[in-house]
Amino acid sequence: MSVMYIRGGRPLEGELAVHGAKNSVLPILAACLLAKGPVTLNNCPRLTDVAAALGILRRLGCRVEQEGHTIVVDPTGASGCSISEEQMRSMRSSIIFLGPLLARAGEAHLSYPGGCELGPRPIDLHLSALRAMGCEVREEQGIHCLGRPKGGEVQLSIPSVGATENAMLCAVGASGPTTITNAAREPEIGDLQSFLNSLGAGVRGAGSSTITVEGGRCLSGGEYTVMGDRIVAATLLSAAASAGGTVRLRGVDWRHLATVLSVFHQAGCRVESKLEYVELFRDGSVPLRGAPTVRTAPYPGFPTDAQAPVMAALAASQGCTLFVETIFDSRYRHVPELIRMGADITTEGRVALVRGVERLHGARVEATDLRGGGALAAAALGAEGTTVLSGLNHIDRGYEGLEEMLRLLGADVERREA
Catalytic residue numbers?
116
Residue in 43, 160, 235, 259 binding ligand UD1, rule: CB under 6 A: 160
Residue 240, CA distances (Å) to 8, 386, 387, 413 in order: 12, 17, 17, 14
328 belongs to the binding site for ligand UD1 (CB under 6 A): yes
327 belongs to the binding site for ligand UD1 (CB under 6 A): yes
Q: What does the radius of gyration of the chain's CA atoms come to, in whole angstroms?
A: 21
Q: With respect to ligand UD1, which residue has the nearer C-beta, 295 or 355?
A: 295
CA dihedral 55, 60, 64, 68 (to 10 degrees): -30
Given a contact cutoff of 8 angstroms between Cβ atoms, the answer to whether 56 and 239 are in contact is no
Least separation, in Å, of the C-beta of 257 and ligand UD1? 14
Residue in 60, 71, 125, 236 binding ligand UD1, rule: CB under 6 A: 125
The span of 7-15, 160-168, 221-229, 342-350 binding ligand UD1 (CB under 6 A) equals 160-168
53 belongs to the binding site for ligand UD1 (CB under 6 A): no
DSSP-derived 3-state class of residue 57: helix
Q: With respect to ligand UD1, which residue has the nearer C-beta, 88 or 409?
A: 88
DSSP-derived 3-state class of residue 250: strand
The span of 140-148, 157-165, 233-241, 255-263 binding ligand UD1 (CB under 6 A) equals 157-165
Given a contact cutoff of 8 angstroms between Cβ atoms, the answer to whether 201 and 212 are in contact is no
Least separation, in Å, of the C-beta of 154 and ligand UD1? 12
The span of 116-124, 281-289, 379-387, 403-411 binding ligand UD1 (CB under 6 A) equals 116-124
Least separation, in Å, of the C-beta of 300 and ligand UD1? 12
121 belongs to the binding site for ligand UD1 (CB under 6 A): yes
Backbone angles phi, psi at 302, to 5 degrees: -70, 125
- Strand pairing report for 136-139 and 143-146: antiparallel
Q: With respect to ligand UD1, which residue has the nearer C-beta, 215 or 398?
A: 398
Residue 71, CA distances (Å) to 96, 299, 383 in order: 18, 28, 38
Residue in 80, 149, 162, 173 binding ligand UD1, rule: CB under 6 A: 162
Q: Please name every residue paired with 79 in a beta bridge, in sequence order, or none if there are none.
A: none
Q: With respect to ligand UD1, which residue has the nearer C-beta, 123 or 263?
A: 123
397 belongs to the binding site for ligand UD1 (CB under 6 A): no
Residue 69 is classified by DSSP as T
Residue 256 is classified by DSSP as G
23 belongs to the binding site for ligand UD1 (CB under 6 A): yes
Residue nearest ligand UD1, Cβ-based:
162
132 belongs to the binding site for ligand UD1 (CB under 6 A): no
114 belongs to the binding site for ligand UD1 (CB under 6 A): no
- Strand pairing report for 210-213 and 203-204: antiparallel
Task: Annotate 79-133 with DSSP letters as a single string.
Answer: ---B--HHHHHH-GGGGGGHHHHHHHHSEEEE------TTS----HHHHHHHHHT
Question: Any alpha helices (H) in 201-257, and if so which ranges?
Answer: 230-243
Least separation, in Å, of the C-beta of 398 and ligand UD1? 8
- Residues numbered 257 to 316 that lie near ligand UD1 (CB under 6 A) are 304-305
99 belongs to the binding site for ligand UD1 (CB under 6 A): no
35 belongs to the binding site for ligand UD1 (CB under 6 A): no
Residue in 115, 122, 292, 301 binding ligand UD1, rule: CB under 6 A: 122
Residue in 124, 136, 139, 223 binding ligand UD1, rule: CB under 6 A: 124
**Angle, nearest 10°, between helix axes 230-243 and 370-382?**
20
Residue in 163, 189, 310, 360 binding ligand UD1, rule: CB under 6 A: 163
* Among 151, 153, 169, residue whose Cα is nearest residue 206: 169
Residue in 32, 39, 56, 123 binding ligand UD1, rule: CB under 6 A: 123
- Strand pairing report for 2-7 and 412-417: antiparallel
- Count the site residues for ligand UD1 by CB under 6 A: 19
- Rounded Cα gap, residues 247 and 222, in angstroms: 35
Where on the chain is the footprint of ligand UD1 (CB under 6 A)?
Answer: 23, 26, 93, 121-126, 158, 160-163, 184, 304-305, 327-328
